């Protein structure tokens, strides 16, 4: 499978991607735990059907010490016993945010639950992670970037 457009090689696309990657670096360095960031990125990418982002974030999570069990259970986190309450709250927020395009909303209950577990800086980072992964997911889906050959740290 070939991408419709070499977005990385295009001057406009490359400049835009550099801005997205820069935004991502700010989030990685935020007070929101990297584990939660990667879980949210994986779940959003599953919902949005972005194989490229799943390839990236499952490998990055594993390299950061995430277990195979937790990586494999992200899609069914509600039934999994391996996620903490803060992780569950973040995953719920991510799911609701990803499904807004389907007529859903981020409920007051989901926000209140996530706000119990995170301070304002962490909440700002969580909203940023969810928003940014949705942008990456849509970019990859539009240009049909192929997945499977990502190497850990490739975009560092």
Could you tell me the domains of the chain?
33-143 (1.20.1290.10)
pLDDT on residue 145 = 87
Q: What is the mean pLDDT of residues 90-99?
A: 97
pLDDT(156) > 80: no
Give the distance, in angstroms, between the CA of residue 81 and the centroid of all CA atoms in the same chain. Answer: 21
Is the pTM higher than 0.85? The answer reads yes
Rounded-to-integer distance, Cα 101 and Cα 105, Å: 9
Q: What is the mean pLDDT of residues 79-88?
A: 97
| Confidence class for position 44, pLDDT limits 50, 70, 90 | very high
pLDDT on residue 101 = 79
Question: For the segment 140-150, what is each residue's pLDDT rounded down to a tens digit?
Answer: 999 988 888 88
User: Whose CA is closest to 133, among 73, 30, 46?
Assistant: 46
pLDDT(52) > 90: yes
pLDDT on residue 2 = 86
pLDDT(155) > 80: no
User: Whose CA is closest to 34, among 82, 83, 87?
Assistant: 87
Spell out a b/e string for 93-130, using b for 16 or more CB atoms within 10 Å of the CB, else e: bbbbbbeeeeeeebeeebeebbeebbeeebbebbbbbb
> For the chain, how are helix, strand and coil distributed in percent, rounded to 5?
70, 0, 30
pLDDT on residue 104 = 85
């Amino acid at each position: 499978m070939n991408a419709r457009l070499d977005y990385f090689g295009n001057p406009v696309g490359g400049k835009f991607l550099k801005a997205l990657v820069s935004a991502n670096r700010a989030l990685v360095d935020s007070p929101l735990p990297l584990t939660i960031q990667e879980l949210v990125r994986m779940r959003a990418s599953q919902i949005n059907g972005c194989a490229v982002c799943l390839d990236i974030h499952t490998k990055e999570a594993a390299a950061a010490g995430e277990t195979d069990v937790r990586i494999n259970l992200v899609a069914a986190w509600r039934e999994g016993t391996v996620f903490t309450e803060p992780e569950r709250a973040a995953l719920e927020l991510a799911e609701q945010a990803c499904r807004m395009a389907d007529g859903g909303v981020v409920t007051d209950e989901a926000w209140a639950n996530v706000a119990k577990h995170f301070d304002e800086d962490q909440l700002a980072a969580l909203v940023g992670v969810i928003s940014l992964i949705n942008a990456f997911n849509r970019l990859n889906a539009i240009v049909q970037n192929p997945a499977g050959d990502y190497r850990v740290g490739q975009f560092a």
